[in-house]
Amino acid sequence: MKYCFILMLMLSSMVAFSQNPIDGKWKGTRETPNGTFEINYTFKVDNGVLTGTWTTQFGESPLENGKVDGKTFSYSISFNDMTINNTGELVSENEIVTKNERGEMKLTRVP
């Protein structure tokens, strides 16, 4: 009985501390008419809701309306009175591909 309790305690703690594979810091680059610039994301998933931030050379903003369904997700970014809707997919443990009306971008996990 004692061992059963310990096993249940260990399993419940692993579930409580497990992370979604999308969680973490990611970076990519975007080609623009003004040159290439780096974009950094911090993603956090909690019960199907994606939150986090995106950071560029122009500053940092929160992600909005984030949703996760398995390995796919969506979110919006607002800046300069404009909102851009994005979709993404976790391709591998260390790669995400995001898409919006401006094109596609590969993100790599930041250790």
pLDDT value at residue 102: 87
For residue 2, what is the DSSP state?
H
Tokens 């391709």 locate to 91
Contact status, residue 77 vs residue 64, Cβ threshold 8 Å: yes
Q: What domains, with CATH codes, occur in the chain?
A: 20-109 (2.40.128.120)
For 5-52, the DSSP string reads HHHHHHHHHHHHH---TT-EEEEEEEEETTEEEEEEEEEEEETTEEEE
* Torsion sign (Cα): 41, 36, 99, 77: positive
Q: Which residue(s) pair with 32 in the sheet?
A: 35
Model pTM score: 0.79
Question: Which pLDDT tens digits describe the chain residue by residue (111 residues)?
Answer: 565 445 454 544 444 445 899 999 999 999 888 889 999 999 999 999 999 999 998 899 999 999 999 999 999 999 889 999 999 999 999 999 999 998 999 999 998
The CA distance from 42 to 74, in Å, is: 14
pLDDT of residue 7: 43
| Number of residues written out for the chain | 111
Per-residue pLDDT at 1: 58
